[in-house]
């Protein structure tokens, strides 16, 4: 069987008057992530990892932030379409491993719901979706609560 790995990273600024979406679920918080789409940094990092593994460029290439079609787009749609894109090259998701870096809100209580949501979208068992959370120890833009970051690796396999 043919296996490939990819790495993804995303960052978005935190602002008032936006909902916070992470891993495909809405999380109650005082601020949300700013972006052309719903700005779900976790899903975006995972999509970049999947696309990178398949050597299919990145999320900005397939879902540009200059296109009207992607304005306020639900990142769950982006993830589903990304899985379909890698499928056109004969690949399916093996597993993903991701880390969200944020000071607030606490992410750990939401991880099971995120795993379930994204596993369903990717057509894998929730056990194949690893999500971890950390802070930046109050350093940098994440530490100042100006934004959030996410890092992801993905394993894809030939069908």
Is 10 annotated to bind a ligand? Reply is yes
Determine if residue 44 is labeled as part of a ligand binding site: yes
- Answer yes or no: is 144 a known binding residue: yes
The reply to whether 135 sits in an annotated binding site is yes
157 annotated as a binding-site residue: no
- 58 marked among binding-site residues: yes
DSSP string, the chain: --EEEEEEEEEEEEETT--EEETTEEE--S-EE-SSS---HHHHHHHHHHHHHTT---HHHHS-TT-GGGTT--HHHHHHHHHHHHHTTTEEEEEEEEEEE-SSS--GGGHHHHHHHHHHHHTS-GGGEEEEEE--TT-HHHHTTSEEEEEEEEEEEE-
Residue 11 annotated in ligand binding: yes
Q: Is 62 annotated as a binding residue?
A: no
State yes or no: 137 annotated in a binding site.
Answer: yes
110 among annotated binding-site residues: no
Residues comprising the binding site for a divalent metal cation? 10, 12, 44
Residues comprising the binding site? 10-12, 36-37, 44, 58-60, 134-137, 141, 144
């Amino acid at each position: 069987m043919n296996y490939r790995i990819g790495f993804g990273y995303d960052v978005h600024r935190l602002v008032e008057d936006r909902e916070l979406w992470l891993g495909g679920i809405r999380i109650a918080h005082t601020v949300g992530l700013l972006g052309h789409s719903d700005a779900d940094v976790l899903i975006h990092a995972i999509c970049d990892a999947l696309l990178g593994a398949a050597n299919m460029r990145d999320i900005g290439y397939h879902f540009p932030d200059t296109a009207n079609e992607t304005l306020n787009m639900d990142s769950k749609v982006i993830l589903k379409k990304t899985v379909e894109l890698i499928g056109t090259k004969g690949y399916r998701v093996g597993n993903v491993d991701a880390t969200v870096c944020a000071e607030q809100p606490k992410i750990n209580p939401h991880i099971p719901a995120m795993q379930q949501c994204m596993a369903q979208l990717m057509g894998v068992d929730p056990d194949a979706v690893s999500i971890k959370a950390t802070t930046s120890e109050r350093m940098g833009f994440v530490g100042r609560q100006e934004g959030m970051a996410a890092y992801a690796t993905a394993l894809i396999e030939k069908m």
